[in-house]
Every structure is written in C-alpha cells, then in structure tokens.
Amino acid sequence: MKMSFRTIALVFGREFRAYFATPLAAVFLLVFLALSAGLAFFAGGFFERGQADLGPFFAWHPWLFLILMPAIGMRLWADERRSGVIELLMTLPVRAHEVVIGKFLAGWAFTAVALVLTMSFWLVTLYLGSPDNGIVVASYIGSFLMAGAFLAISACISAMTKNQVIAFILAAIVSFLLVMSGTNLVLAALRGWAPAFVVDLVQSLSFITNFDRLTRGVLEAPAVILFLSTIVLALWINVQVVDAKKAA
C-alpha cells in the first residue's frame, strides 16, 4: 500500500489544531478530568479504600470513553460532508487511507493529551503511598489503546453520515455494546441458549474484560491485539466508506 507520510502529517497537523480552534477541546478536557476524578473519588472510593493505587480511577475509563470518544470522533468526517470540504479534500492528489490515518492519529493524540493531564492523580498516589508503578504504566497503555479502539469506531461511523449527532449516537451505541458484551447481564442472557463457544467469543471481544486484564498490570497480548486489531479493522472500513465516492 502506497503511503505518503507527508500527507498523513499534514492532515494530522490540521486536525489536531482544529480541536483547539473551538472551545470543544477545553470543554472535553475539563469534562474528562472532572468525571474521571469525580468517579474515582465518589463512586470508586479512592480514599476510603486506604490503598495507594489507581484502580478506582481506571475502572471507570471504559464507561467514560464510550461517551467521550464518540464526541471526539464525530466531527472527523461528518463535518467534512456537511460543509462540502470532503469534495475538496478528496480531489487533492492524496489517497483516502492517508487522510483516514491522519485524522485518526489527530484524535488519538488529543486523547493522549487528556490522559497525560490525569497523571496528577498518579503524583497524588505517589505522595500518599507507594503504588505499583508497573501497574499504573500498563493501565495507562491499556487505557490509551482502548480509547484508540473507541475512536477508530467513532471515526468510521462519522464517515457514514453528514450529521454529527447521528454519528455520535451510533458510535456510542456500538461502543456500549462492545463494553457490555463482557458483563454478566449479557453473558447470562446468552448462556441459556447459545453454545459455549459463542459465549466465550462474546466475552473475549468485550472491551471491559480485556481492559481489566491490562489494569491488573500485565500487558497481555490478547488484550493488546484485540484493541489494535479493532483500530485497524475500523480504519479499514473507514477507508472503504470514504472511497465509495458517495455524493454527500
């Protein structure tokens, strides 16, 4: 596959700056910080547990991301269709996959900024006690990978519509299903009638189950592979959707 890294870098630069061109970036970062801290303190019992670890903080990430990543991804393509810029963009001498990758990486880098800003939490636990830093690092990597998978799905869905709200809602629904597929609620409902391998398959695809594994401190290959392959698959579909050359 031919690829121009210059084009990817140009698209990345434009999109990354675009996040900060509107108040969206500030709002997003504030909401993310407030929610992740608030949930860890009030719902996760960060202090009451009396343990210096970030478990209660990371445990909420699948739930936060299933709302917040569609919010980051929804504008990536839907807005181009609505404004008609997609017509200009896709008649430049560039390939669809270069634009898809550039846009995705911009959203992912923005997510990285949000995650880095939460590291004050880590500093607090370091001050209060001695957390297992290996676990914290593994959890951050896991969180970043999972966010990437949610974002790739959101970007892909964003390419299918010119309505950002529809893109957001559909992406949140798909993300919700991927999170829920590991919960007992879903698995119990399946166990009654589905063969065991189907139950196992559904469970193995669950973002929450795989993320939990990573937050236990082991960078397990299956979990890493699940998130990375979700990203690759979603971006591949994204390219196909853009390449289908549909009129807006």
Q: What number of other Cβ atoms are within 10 A of residue 113's Cβ?
A: 15
Which of 27, 189 has the CB closer to another protein? 27
Q: Does residue 127 touch another protein according to CB under 8 A? A: no
Q: Tell me the closest approach of the beta carbon of residue 243 to another protein, in angstroms.
A: 9
Q: Does residue 27 touch another protein according to CB under 8 A? A: no
Tokens of 16: 């990354």
Which of 14, 191 has the CB closer to another protein? 14
Which of 75, 213 has the CB closer to another protein? 75
d(CA 162, CA 74): 10
Which of 7, 158 has the CB closer to another protein? 7
Which x/- pattern over 73-102 shows residues binding another protein (rule: CB under 8 A)? Answer: ----------xxx-xx-xxxxxx-------
Q: Which stretch binds another protein (CB under 8 A): 9-17, 40-48, 57-65, 138-146?
A: 9-17
Q: How far is CA 170 from CA 133, 156, 199, in A?
A: 37, 11, 24
Which of 128, 248 has the CB closer to another protein? 248
The amino acid at 166: I
Q: Does residue 247 touch another protein according to CB under 8 A? A: yes
List the interface residues with another protein, window 187-246 (CB under 8 A).
245
**Applying CB under 8 A, what is the total number of residues that bind another protein?**
21
Which of 183, 240 has the CB closer to another protein? 240
Q: Tell me the closest approach of the beta carbon of residue 88 to another protein, in angstroms.
A: 6
Write a three-state SS string for 75-124.
Answer: HHHHHHHHHCHHHHHCCCCCCHHHHHHHHHHHHHHHHHHHHHHCHHHHHH
Q: Does residue 7 touch another protein according to CB under 8 A? A: yes
Question: 26-29 — which CB contacts under 8 Å span 24+ positions?
Answer: 28/68, 28/71, 28/72, 28/110, 28/114, 29/113, 29/114, 29/117
Q: Does residue 14 touch another protein according to CB under 8 A? A: yes
d(CA 132, CA 201): 32
Q: Does residue 22 touch another protein according to CB under 8 A? A: yes
d(CA 111, CA 39): 19
d(CA 97, CA 145): 20
Which of 88, 218 has the CB closer to another protein? 88
Q: Which stretch binds another protein (CB under 8 A): 6-14, 25-33, 138-146, 233-241?
A: 6-14
The terminus-to-terminus CA distance of the chain in angstroms comes to: 27
Residues of the shown chain interacting with another protein in the complex, contacts defined by CB under 8 A: 6-7, 10-11, 14, 18, 21-22, 83-85, 87-88, 90-95, 245, 247
